[in-house]
A and B are shown apart, each in its own frame.
Chain A
Amino acid sequence: METQFLYTILILALPFCSFLFLGLFGHKLSHKVAGLIGTTSLGLVFLLSLYTAFEYFFGIGRNVQGIYQALVPYNTTWLPLGNLHFDMGILLDPIAVMMLIVISTVSFMVHIYSFGYMHGERGFQRYYAFLSLFTMSMLGLVVATNIFQMYLFWELVGVSSYLLIGFFYTEKPAIAASKKAFIVTRFADLFFLIGILIYGYYAQTFSFSFVETGSVREFASAAFMLPTALFLMFIGGAGKSAMFPLHIWLPDAMEGPTPVSALIHAATMVVAGVYQVARMFPLWIAYAPDTLHIVAWVGAFTAFYAAAVACAQSDIKRVLAFSTISQIAFMMVALGVCMPLPNGASPELIDHEFGIGYMASMFHLFTHAMFKATLFLCAGCLIHAVHSNEMSAMGGMRKYMPITHWTFLIACLAISGIPPFSGFFSKDEILEASFAYSPVMGWVMTGIAAMTAFYMFRLYYGIFWGTENKEHHAECHPHESPLAMTFPLLFLTAITLVAGFIPFGKIISADGLAYDFLAHFNWALGAKSCFIALISIGLATWIYKGEKQPIADKMQNAAPHLHRWAFKRFYLDEVYQFITHRIIFKYISATIAKFDRKYIDGFFNFLAWGTHELGFQIRGFQSGSIQKYAFIFFLGALALLLVMIL
């Protein structure tokens, strides 16, 4: 049964081959051929992923216990280390297969889209090579059979993100942003690695097959260490998924090409942290339920913070970036609000109701990837049309770009949680899980959902309605994008339209058993959240739709400091700047650098100087005059003779 999935290796191998090929020989190919190679390999991956999902969910189906089994079609020991060993392999289980679909779909659409967006750009082939590398790493991350393989691909994902953010490597902000993204996530990954090592030390395995091995039970003796390990891993996940206070890299990452933002910094890579927590979820719920509270509250605060900042930004990609942070935080919250069964029931079994957050989180991950990719790709079309990221350069764009307008509107409605679009269903599950956790959390999340609707429609009206920047538009003649760019928009929007009706609980749930959430659907809560979202949208319409926006100006004038603080992202970047430059660089790094230069370098400089001096002293021997050599040779012969005679 497992060998039938052996072809899934191709899902990783195809993008890897296209990366190698384009990376090595890309410069000899024309743009069109290079793009076609990248897109074709991704198209094949897309089809293979769909086929895998079909086979997995319908071909094999549930086992006797009524759950979808985790399959390992391929696993090889890569690096044995005594008892422990690092494996490389492919693991198929519901969340991995779901992620395969998400990644390959979005990546395929972005590949097509980039044909239009990156048209004629220098380094086009390099761009496609990096996209392939990224896709390979991300796919490898989700199908990892063990936490160490996940970590390897996790870092590869970070590298490809770095390469793509810094794609326009001649521009200063892009370089700074790529470095920032890499360093911040790398810093977080340090904790991830420590967590992995602690986990490996106590569990004696890196494998994800928690329940079968039975070794996790030994954790009972190390009751303190497992939550610590999981928490450290969560810090790594928080870095990748841009949780407060490690979110600072994500808004800057928008310096990369917009399709890259759509693929990496909105739909796929940033959910790696959520995915990691979901992967380790059986351990979290069984051994570290108290630590889950931290996850929940960090998520809630991040969601609130990002939503507040998003309300004040003027750069459209920034707004979307903060909305991404906020939405990913929603997924984290959903995982965090899961609770174990009370009265010490068997830890291997997690009840439906208690594990609803897990399902909601994965569902939201799926729907969010689709509509957020749509939003970013729309933003790309807009930037392509007006050559600016600023909302002030837009306004009234609905006349020029009808397709972009409609797809953007649908995605906005989806993210705001308006039925029947997909975001409504997934967000509602999250709210339900939050209310089950505690009413406070429930209301907080509802409030943030309302803020989401507000800032998304502020953005929507700012771009497509509002005051039109006529001079600028006369200059650059905005027009609808070519088919290569509009097709992905339409495709992803189509998914957004229907994704809400996928019976997601039947596919993914905390305990693997089918869970029909539509049957359990809390219609009262749904109506409430929908009503609140509509009020927010109405508010945004009232404030931002008109040509003149007296209310917006009045609000800004009423609380200028608040607006300024939100616009400056509550000065967090400045705080980081202060801490890193003024404290760490000045006192710690400078001291270490001084020590390095003075003593370490000094020692080696001394060695070099000594050798040099010695050489200088004895170089007289090397005169090049053969007669001097002969003289010394002669003296030596005499000395030998003397020794022999004596």
Chain B
Amino acid sequence: MAIQTQGLRKEYGNKVAVRNLALCVPRGSIFGFLGPNGAGKSTSIKMLLGLVSPTSGEAFVLGKPAGDVETRRKIGFLPEHFRFYDWLTPAELLRLHGRLCGMPAARLRERIPEMLDLVGLTPHKDKRIRAFSKGMMQRIGLAQALIHEPEIVFLDEPTSGLDPMGRRLVRDVIRTQNKWGATVFLNSHLLSEVEITCDNVAFLKDGEVVASKELRAMGTEEEVHVTAHVRNLSDEAISALAPWATGASLEGEYLTASARSGDGLPEILRHLVRSGADVYSFTAEKASLEDLFMRIMGEDRGL
């Protein structure tokens, strides 16, 4: 396991930031950590990185207790509220972070131009960071997190403040790192980004993991929304959909239902036709991560 926690808890005075965090992140996976504001995501990441001490519980990163100094050599981190020494140029900042990671000077000389190129900052390499836009800051932050070729990368809101090109770049970088075998721990509010990037997700609510999903399996095995344009559909035929779908209801000529899995779709269509209904259209959409998120968190939870 890349990350394993048990009963991890953090209290700040009377406030419980993280209640009972139990996580298992497999090595080599892209893991999405989701939850509304104040759910305890950043505190959890800080505990995994050793920036914050847990009140109780255990956390292991790459098999060593969280915060272990030597293990940090294999960890990259892009903080949510990234602030760097803005009086440096991007190349100088990367050199500083590389040196702090113990990288030899010769390797750094090769690696710095590579990283600047990767995040698209080569044309700005001589500018001071204080002149950078938020998106450029995010890019240099990503480069400093990856300069030492870490085995696990923690990215706290890596796409906030980025334009669509920047988001795509982050997505590509995440995939490339993952292809090389790195584990990526992604904390993001942009569920569509998470959906297309991550292998697994965990939903955090009030400091606890309330659900976890394997996103790659969200195909035929996951719930699917069905909408059908039908005429002459009897109430009995609607009730008889129960073995394959839940929440079936007819409004005018439109039937909506939630199929338990993609495998049940042919059965539903067959049943409708056999019951004597005239089917004019039949559409099926798998539940998006956002639907799942809203259902788990409740509609009243703002992001």
Decide if A and B are genuine partners.
Answer: no
Contact surface of A with B, Cβ cutoff 8 Å? none
